[in-house]
Structure 1
């Protein structure tokens, strides 16, 4: 039998519903995801660490859970919010229910709440601290818990989400080149994408130094996605800066923000972030619009890259010219960087997106081409 549950935001907004999954009390940053599918990838993406995620799709869990679609070894979210959780999954691939998966992972969920209301509130007021409980059903007491929880600003969560040990993933077929991937909370599908394009991938933890990376004699370096505030990932920024000009670099999501910092730029927190599988991004090189998958709450401040030479091009201090290569058509947020004088580029969105879309899969081949051109 389900228990009563309460979700509160730090501004006092509250929603009552039914608990599912584990019981208990959790805190985190309340955010929303607009994907109609892909809830398992959301749950297991390390970039959602310390976040209470609300899905805007009204019915979640209908195709169950399976180990093949996990993006990490465990469910990563702090809490999960849905309008209705499926009681019985219906898919030949399913090996368990959403409710059971949350319970086994000790993650608290709440259903029976108005996720449309919650989403509109977060769009208006911004992502904020929240608390979710099946134990504390007094609004004021739970709001106190939310207010006592840490802010996402200044949080170095990459050091928590990273691998504890280095490891190697072989190429899918013939090994064409060696790539060192710095793991700041990397999704499994990213490693698969690199391996499918001929990379033997050597995964190193977020604490790796430039010497650690160069000791492996890589043909290229990949900067992964991950949770938290990019400005707090000081070792990752220093390592990236130390590698620029020595080896080709490709970054995704947090990796793009770290590359921006390495160029000398600042990052800032978005009001409610980009989370979903339907974000339109303009590829400025040819005017193509890609429909892309996103999960980020911070972005690079373009004007801080250096001296502006035209609308999208900047002269950095010591690393040459950097161009804003991709732009979000919803809000003009920087979605990609390309360096003209050192071999580096990045995108803020996810070319490896599962279950989709696949518009940006070509970026793995672009990285392979950059490596081939450097050798």
Structure 2
């Protein structure tokens, strides 16, 4: 005989297990989509005018990089391009919150973060043109090479952060010395085993790492509703560290939250999960057709939350910019576009033997023999000088 168990009241269930799944998660926001400045009890910052104008300039130039790269791909100058249209605030806010000694582990879409770290956009184009593997020094720029394997960079980030601990650059109280790591990934990558393993190691060793998830709501063609039954930032609690959801189209809030999470990491308090809630207004990459899997109405709604327009309204409303300033910025963006178009087309193809040059710091006998064999083979063809 089956014993009947009375249904428990919902209130008691929530007391034990938290709020129901359909409850609205808290969203940290300092600037509404209409450009109205808000206060926040935890993450509020008194931004000066130059800083806010700087954020706007960054986002405009980053969008121009994205626009030019997309056009170059359409003209056959790039093999592929991963667009970031609509995610400029999330990337610029996170990038500008970094200190010089902090280190970033990106995916293949962090063009805005790369810009804030001083990476020449032409180095990004060289990677997607197929003429190099990323033309910047990761240690000099404190910005790792782009990672295409989904989520793998989160493990690299945690390992690097644990190395920082052992190098004595965490929790010393010296702002010029203490450092932290940011691991960027998307909502789709949050389902990867590597990412969850990174969470476990980071929590176990209090690694000074900020897991920065740009939830653009589409893992290529898979919507976020099919990826997680709870808001992504709440997953952090299961691993033993805090999570916070920030309006990823609000550059002020993204900066403030990331800055706080980085400081927490530098002080030795361990990892934080930051979910930047945003939207990918463009395609996943230039090989993708988003009209096959999402409604145009959704895109149009999110265009009303455009991060650049939002900040422009705020700047104009408060008299922080005028038409002359905006015209000068437009001219700067045009010059950047010219630099990218001309520079991309002028990139030389690498020498065939370039594949041997960055395998090891010091060339091994085996690698030397392989190179000599390759050179001899290549020279056997007419005009085959390596």
TM-score category, normalised to shorter length: under 0.3
- Is the strand fraction higher in 1 or 2? 1
For normalisation by structure 1, the TM-score amounts to: 0.27
For normalisation by structure 2, the TM-score amounts to: 0.26
Larger Rg: 2
| Structure with higher RCO (Cα < 8 A, 6+ apart) | 2
- Is the helix fraction higher in 1 or 2? 2
